[in-house]
């Protein structure tokens, strides 16, 4: 109802920073940040869906599916972090070998 005085870009940047902090993806390659922005926006929208589902009379099977899918998303961020660290280590080793 009342604007917070922040532009859409400021809000997106703030959301991205929270997302990066939550999933510890501060050191991702800058080329990947645009994709992370899209994912963060998509997941923010899904948060409303999850909250609505919890308050509704959705059956337990549907709620379990959403819970498992959420766990997979969390797991994917861990894998992305690990792959990013591995890539940086490989790049360091490659530079030492030159």
pLDDT by residue (tens digit) across 10-60? 877 787 788 778 878 777 777 777 777 777 777 776 666 666 666 666 677
**3 is a domain residue:** no
How many C-beta neighbours within 10 Å does residue 40 have?
Answer: 20
**What local confidence, expressed as pLDDT, does residue 89 receive?**
92
Q: Is residue 85 assigned to a domain?
A: yes
**Residue 18 included in any domain:** no
What is the Rg, in whole angstroms, of the alpha carbon atoms belonging to the chain? 18
Q: Give helix then strand counts, H and E, for the chain.
A: 3, 0
> How large is the average pLDDT for residues 62-70?
80
pLDDT reported for residue 94? 93
Question: Domain for residue 8, yes or no?
Answer: no
The boundaries of the domain holding residue 75 are 24-97
19 located within any domain: no
Q: How far apart are CA 14 and CA 86, in angstroms?
A: 28
47 within some domain? yes
Total number of domains constituting the chain: 1
pTM for this entry: 0.58
pLDDT at 93: 94
Which is more confident, 77 or 90? 90
């Amino acid at each position: 109802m009342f604007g917070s005085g922040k532009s859409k870009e400021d809000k997106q940047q703030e959301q991205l920073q929270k997302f990066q902090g939550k999933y510890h993806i501060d050191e991702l390659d800058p080329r990947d940040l645009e994709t992370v922005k899209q994912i963060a926006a998509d997941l923010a929208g899904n948060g409303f869906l999850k909250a609505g589902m919890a308050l509704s009379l959705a059956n337990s099977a549907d709620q379990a599916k959403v819970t498992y899918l959420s766990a997979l998303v969390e797991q994917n961020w861990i894998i992305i972090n690990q792959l990013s660290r591995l890539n940086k280590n490989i790049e360091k080793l490659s530079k030492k070998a030159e």
